[in-house]
Amino acid sequence: MNASAPGGTPATATYDRIGIGYRHVRRPDPRLAALIHQALAGVRTVVNVGAGTGSYEPAGAEVTAVDPSRVMLEQHPGRRKVLAGAEELPFEDGAFDAAMAVMTVHHWPGLHRGLGELRRVSRRQVVFTWDPGHLPGLWLVEEYLPEIRQLEHARFTPLSTVVEALGAHTVVPFAIPHDFTDGFQIAYWRRPESYLDPVIRQASSTFAQLPPSVVEPAIARLRADLASGAWRRRHADLLDQESVDYGYRLLIAGDGESGAS
């Protein structure tokens, strides 16, 4: 791995702790991949900031992966890897056709600075993130783990702020399919039994940051509600839905054609 950290190694990242085995749970979903690849159409060089294991990178493009976690970069299959934070990208102005950032901006200590760096080093920017003000929320948070809401609202900046800081000209909603393969927290909204699996929970940064004294009693209540049928009685409406808009958005800025937002 050709991983470097100009200016010094960043502070230990959350994903140094939770990243082991991450690829087995967080498998790219083809529908989200198609949306991101459409936004990146025509680019030859891409920097993937907060790259993790390389999900959603466009085939055929020359991709440079940037991540502050060595554990995550070691799982990335590419050859161009740089250990760095988003706030100090070690590249020249306009070095890439595009910059991409997928479910990562909420982890950046300096959001505005990081988004500014995306704009500095690339001509097009594609960011997939979540709107913390969107309703409805996930039942798991509302009914079992309200502590997750506190974490999320502390980490996620309002979508309007991200749109403005990025200078996004296009905002595309992405409803989460019931069989979404990328196992971040929202993925199992119609598959509640999945949240009982500690391996699945470990791949979600919010779960991983909560103490067992909070998570385990909540999961025990969910297990009991599934066994009694109480969960299905409360959420019968969800069982017939193919997808739900939980506030996930793809933002596009820079040289792409503007579209409806």
**109 is written with which tokens?**
């200590």
**The predicted structure's pLDDT at residue 5:** 40
Per-residue pLDDT of the chain (261 residues; tens, 9 = 90+): 444 443 333 333 454 544 444 455 578 999 999 999 999 999 999 999 999 889 999 999 999 999 999 988 988 999 999 999 999 999 999 999 999 999 999 989 999 999 999 999 999 999 999 999 999 999 999 999 999 998 888 889 999 999 999 999 999 999 999 999 998 889 999 999 999 999 888 878 788 789 999 999 999 999 999 999 999 999 999 999 999 999 999 999 998 544 434
**The predicted structure's pLDDT at residue 241:** 97
Give 86-143 as a DSSP string.
TTS--S-TT-EEEEEEES-GGG-SSHHHHHHHHHHHEEEEEEEEE-TT-SSPPHIIII
The hierarchical CATH code for the domain 14-254 is 3.40.50.150
Q: Where are the alpha helices (DSSP H) in the chain?
A: 14-18, 22-25, 30-39, 70-75, 111-121, 139, 146-155, 159-166, 198-202, 205-209, 212-228, 230-234
Alpha-carbon span 15 to 202, nearest angstrom: 10
**The predicted structure's pLDDT at residue 228:** 98
**The predicted structure's pLDDT at residue 187:** 94
User: pTM of the entire structure?
Assistant: 0.88
CA distances from 238 to 133, 195, 219, 226 (A): 21, 16, 20, 14
Look up tokens 């704009």; give the residue: 119
**The predicted structure's pLDDT at residue 7:** 36
**The predicted structure's pLDDT at residue 207:** 84
Domain boundaries, the chain: 14-254
Bridge partners of 20?
none
**218 is written with which tokens?**
């909540």
Which one, of 258, 260, 254, lies nearest residue 100 by Cα?
A: 254
